[in-house]
Amino acid sequence: MQYKIWRSPYSCFGGLNSLKLDNTKDETYTAVNVYTDEVLADIAANGFNAIWLHAVLCSISIVPEFPEFGTNAMAHVAALNTLVARAAKHGIKVFLYFQPVRGIATGNKEFWKNHPECAGQIEMSGEQLIAEHLDEPLEVASLCTSVPAVKNWIRDASSFLAENVPDLGGVILITASEYPGHCYSHRKKKDPTEWTHLIECPRCKEREGWEVALEEILLVREGIRKKSEKMDIIAWNWGWAMWLPTPCKELLEKLPKDVILMADCERGGVQDMAERPSFHMDEYSLTYAGPSPRCKGTIEYGMSIGLKGMLKLQLGTTHELGSVLDLPLMTNIFRKASYLKNNPELGYMGCWNFGNSTSGNTAGFNFFLREDVSGNMEEALKSFAEYYFPSCNASGVLRAWELMEQGSKYMPFAIPFLYRGCHAHALSYTSIFNTGALNTRSAGTSYRPFENRGDDLSGSVNMPGNFSLDELVSNLGKMAVIWKIAAETMLEALGGKDDKHEAGNMFICAALMQSAEYAYRAYRLRLNWDDSKKADLLHIVNGEIENVKNALPYVEKDPRQGWHGEAYIRMFTPESMKEKLQHLEALQKELLLSV
């Protein structure tokens, strides 16, 4: 079966780092209330045959090795079985995505008093659940998989899952990075980086990181196979490149042939960007279609030795702009679909935990997979335009999509900006629009809720490999202008009718990048503030007032806009935009009186 995996934008990821975890917040407990028959029918109608939920294995299993785990496990099991049966009526399988082990806060005195020998690598993470301590440093100890009790627990917990949720489609395993898990989750044996430090665990540093990851996959598989021959095990290659060169032959050659290999489509790619030739693309992307050489090398080698393959790709949106309905880069949606159409033996997982609304992107992707659709991009895009927008000017729609791709080449595609930029919440962001010196309070991230955002945007600028502040201002401005033209072109091609909100979505994408440009221009002024800069700030404020006002009607018409599934909030709403306008108009009056 070629799995086509999706998920609801409104199912909460859950299972986050905390000193006091509440497993009734886990998705395995709550998703049954989200995936109604209506939601599942919509997912199936958009061409998908599976969904994935985030799981924490210790929350959904009862195993003697660690009796502290498994509180409410049978309630999780009951909820999962209900969802699995409901999804089956729509031809949809349910998969659980998880790390085989998860680290435990060192502040959990009871657990570590009972199992001190299982403590491995110490990592710093962030408290993500306790409201008064959100994002504070949280010390976490890995469950060391060099300890026999931990290995036994992985195997037995996997058996418990297979026995108690027998019709589960399978599991998707991430064995590198993510939350602190095994001792090598964020570690290497040599060549440390800012993100990946040297291994310190005295047991695990005698081993290789890839061996630890492989062992986890084998233990999960062994446990599942004791109870189920039909349940699929998908091993995701996310992060393996920190331990082995592509295609990670040593690891792949030791995978059992009933394990499905899933490779990141876009990470490890190279693409010519505007003013940046041969630019390295090492994140999920719609700006870059992929598959990257790393992806193709991994999949091709894996299949050459008898493994089944899948792609992990993005169809809705990414950290490039995570709060919009979708990033409507239809030319790259076509390119992604074309690779899969030419390699029909491959399945795919089409999303992460945000950007999961069904939309023009998902409709287009599944349209392009059809056998009766041309392999020529221009013909296929025009055919889809006529199918999705009856009575449209297909040539005009095609031109709008081409302009969106042209503008995307100015995307500041660097991890500091993608993760710490203000672009996802820019239409609500006010703190930077003030006079005086910066207050140095962080502006937060682009993918997490953040109360009381400050005006310190340095984390998205002043880091190695990032775009300079001047480059950010320039690129965001150029992208906004081209995308606005694309939106106008789309609306004209639709005869002024935007029933599916696709033109409105383009206008919102452009407005967010325009807001981000104004924010960074204001930040540049305030880095070394003096009152002589008030006239320049007034010019910025005037532009942003017009920009927010122009975007507001489109946001009012489409309540899906602003929603970020990972943050689990709307990053901007009509109300927050009106509050921003009030702030800007008050500042405008103040500046007019003083310049």
Domain CATH code at residue 159? 3.20.20
Task: Tell whether 379 is covered by a domain.
Answer: no
Task: Tell whether 510 is covered by a domain.
Answer: yes
- Give me the residues paired with residue 124 across strands: 139
CA distance from start to end of the chain:
68
Task: Tell whether 117 is covered by a domain.
Answer: no
d(CA 104, CA 122): 10
DSSP state of 442: B
Task: Tell whether 268 is covered by a domain.
Answer: yes
- Looking at the structure, tell me whether residues 168 and 292 fall in a common domain: yes
- Looking at the structure, tell me whether residues 20 and 162 fall in a common domain: yes
Q: 264 φ, ψ to 5°?
A: -65, 130
SS3 per residue for 454-519: CCECHHHCCCCCCCCHHHHHHHHHHHHHHHHHHHHHHHHHCCCCCCCCHHHHHHHHHHHHHHHHHH
Q: Per the structure block, which two tokens stand in for 236?
A: 């995701």
**Among residues 340, 330, 333, 296, which one has the least CA distance to residue 314?**
333
**Mean per-residue pLDDT, 557-562:** 97
Let me know: does 138 contact 105? Beta carbons within 8 Å.
yes
Domain boundary at 254, 279, 313, which?
313
User: No. of H helices and E strands in the chain?
Assistant: 17, 17
Count Cβ atoms below 10 Å from residue 394 Cβ, excluding itself: 17
- pLDDT, one tens digit per residue, over 385-444 is 999 999 999 999 999 999 999 999 999 999 999 999 999 999 999 999 999 999 889 999
Q: Which helix (H) or strand (E) holds 261?
A: strand 259-264
Let me know: does 585 contact 546? Beta carbons within 8 Å.
no
Count Cβ atoms below 10 Å from residue 434 Cβ, excluding itself: 17
- Looking at the structure, tell me whether residues 191 and 306 fall in a common domain: yes
Domain boundary at 298, 313, 328, which?
313
d(CA 144, CA 184): 9
Let me know: does 550 contact 506? Beta carbons within 8 Å.
no
- Looking at the structure, tell me whether residues 293 and 409 fall in a common domain: no
- Looking at the structure, tell me whether residues 180 and 308 fall in a common domain: yes
What ranges make up the beta strands (E) of 168-236?
170-174, 187-188, 197-198, 232-236
The CA-based dihedral angle spanning residues 423, 429, 434, 438, taken in that order and rounded to the nearest 10 degrees: -60
Edge-to-edge strand ranges of the sheet holding 137-143: 104-105, 137-143, 119-126
- Give me the residues paired with residue 52 across strands: 95
Q: What is residue 136's predicted lDDT score, i.e. its pLDDT?
A: 86
Cβ burial 242-262 (10 Å sphere, 16+ → b, else e): bbbebbbeebbeebeeebbbb
Residues in the chain: 595
- Looking at the structure, tell me whether residues 422 and 544 fall in a common domain: yes
Domain boundary at 313, 335, 350, which?
313
Count Cβ atoms below 10 Å from residue 366 Cβ, excluding itself: 19
Which residues form the domain of 95? 4-105+145-313
Type of residue at 145 = T
d(CA 372, CA 158): 42
- Looking at the structure, tell me whether residues 305 and 429 fall in a common domain: no
Task: Tell whether 16 is covered by a domain.
Answer: yes
- Between the alpha carbon of residue 234 and those of residues 95, 171, 447, the distances in Å are 9, 6, 26
Task: Tell whether 262 is covered by a domain.
Answer: yes
3-state secondary structure of 173: strand
**Mean per-residue pLDDT, 136-150:** 96
Confidence of residue 550 (pLDDT cuts 50, 70, 90): very high
**Mean per-residue pLDDT, 191-196:** 88
Q: Which helix (H) or strand (E) holds 309?
A: strand 308-312
- Whether the per-residue pLDDT at 52 is higher than 70: the answer is yes
- Looking at the structure, tell me whether residues 474 and 579 fall in a common domain: yes
Beta-carbon contacts of residue 68 (< 8 Å; ≥ 6 apart): 110, 111, 114
Confidence of residue 109 (pLDDT cuts 50, 70, 90): very high
Q: What is residue 440's predicted lDDT score, i.e. its pLDDT?
A: 84
- pLDDT, one tens digit per residue, over 517-538 is 999 999 999 999 999 999 999 9
Beta-carbon contacts of residue 578 (< 8 Å; ≥ 6 apart): 552
Q: What is residue 371's predicted lDDT score, i.e. its pLDDT?
A: 96
In angstroms, how far is CA 581 from the centroid of its own chain? 30
pLDDT > 90 fraction of the chain, expressed in percent and rounded: 92
- Whether the per-residue pLDDT at 373 is higher than 70: the answer is yes
**Among residues 265, 351, 322, which one has the least CA distance to residue 52?**
351
Let me know: does 171 contact 133? Beta carbons within 8 Å.
no
Q: How many domains does the chain have?
A: 2
Task: Tell whether 54 is covered by a domain.
Answer: yes
- Whether the per-residue pLDDT at 464 is higher than 70: the answer is no
- Looking at the structure, tell me whether residues 263 and 401 fall in a common domain: no
Task: Tell whether 324 is covered by a domain.
Answer: no
Beta-carbon contacts of residue 210 (< 8 Å; ≥ 6 apart): 240, 243, 244, 248, 250, 251
Q: Write down the mean pLDDT value for the chain.
A: 96
Q: Which helix (H) or strand (E) holds 249?
A: helix 249-252
- Looking at the structure, tell me whether residues 447 and 552 fall in a common domain: yes
pLDDT > 70 fraction of the chain, expressed in percent and rounded: 99
- Whether the per-residue pLDDT at 124 is higher than 70: the answer is yes
- Looking at the structure, tell me whether residues 193 and 63 fall in a common domain: yes
- pLDDT, one tens digit per residue, over 223-235 is 999 999 999 999 9
Q: What is residue 465's predicted lDDT score, i.e. its pLDDT?
A: 66
Pinpoint the alpha helices (H) of 263-414.
293-304, 330-342, 360-368, 377-388, 394-408
Q: What is residue 385's predicted lDDT score, i.e. its pLDDT?
A: 98
Confidence of residue 449 (pLDDT cuts 50, 70, 90): confident
d(CA 487, CA 315): 20
Confidence of residue 311 (pLDDT cuts 50, 70, 90): very high
- Whether the per-residue pLDDT at 16 is higher than 90: the answer is no
**Mean per-residue pLDDT, 245-264:** 97
